Amino acid sequence: DTGVSQDPRHKITKRGQNVTFRCDPISEHNRLYWYRQTLGQGPEFLTYFQNEAQLEKSRLLSDRFSAERPKGSFSTLEIQRTEQGDSAMYLCASSSWTGKNTEAFFGQGTRLTVV
Amino acid sequence: AQKITQTQPGMFVQEKEAVTLDCTYDTSDQSYGLFWYKQPSSGEMIFLIYQGSYDEQNATEGRYSLNFQKARKSANLVISASQLGDSAMYFCAMREGTMRGKLIFGQGTELSVKP
């Protein structure tokens, strides 16, 4: 296991289509985060999981966005009815929670372009 | 509400010289963590250094050190002996409290190292 893995790395989709991204965290990490980063900005928090439980969701996460982590391992982020404003880099990160937070390690991201 | 401010959109430094990247933060929590990440053009966020709000000594990691001034709410990153490979975006981030996992990022500083 070499780090956080995201798939696909790039996705081009037509407006109105649904897309799904996958994130495989570092295997021993029980926390998994999703962030969105637009050009020239820092990443913005979307949601995070501890094991399979979704503990927090940002107001940025509209009804068109849904995230799951069904067995506490990999996670998926789905965007329904994509809009041009959804074009961004979607970053996944994982960390270990053992009563104390450790640093989060990020994947290389999925770059989404909605045309 | 917590906030991270990075006031330097871009910085230049000569190879082998030191450079300081500024970061100020705002929080009402007594317990928080401050992070610096590097983002090269490949997109991956690379963890550099961490400072806890109760840590009395400034954090150091190799060529990176964090100049933590709690009263001023600043957490500047110092990179010593700059290398060409240090050219990248640098993000300051804060995690509020010890239980929550999400990070709040600043807008970043683009560092260019000149030969």
Inspect the interface and report whether the beta carbons of B101 and A33 lie closer than 8 Å: yes
Minimal C-alpha gap between A4 and chain B (Å) = 10
Dump pLDDT digits (tens) for A9-44. 999 999 999 999 999 999 989 999 999 999 989 999
Residue B14 reports pLDDT greater than 70:
yes
Mean pLDDT of A82-108: 87
pLDDT bracket for residue A2 (50, 70, 90): confident
Q: Does B55 touch chain A (CB under 8 A)?
A: no
Name the residue among B64, B98, B47, B91 with its Cα closest to residue A107.
Answer: B47
Residue in B43, B91, B102 nearest the CB of A56: B102
B11 touches chain A (CB under 8 A): no
In contact, B97 and B32? CB cutoff 8 Å? yes
The mean predicted confidence, pLDDT, of chain A is 92
Please name the amino acid found at residue A71. Answer: K
Q: Is A112 on the interface with B (CB under 8 A)?
A: no
Q: Are A54 and A46 in contact (CB under 8 A)?
A: no
Residue by residue, DSSP assigns B33-91 as EEEEEEE-TT---EEEEEEETT--SPPEETTEEEEEETTTTEEEEEE-S--GGG-EEEE
Residues of B in contact with A50 (CB under 8 A): 101
pLDDT of residue A101: 60
Q: What does the DSSP 8-state code read for residue B32?
A: E
Interface mutation vs chain A, best among B41, B48, B102, most A CBs within 10 Å: B102
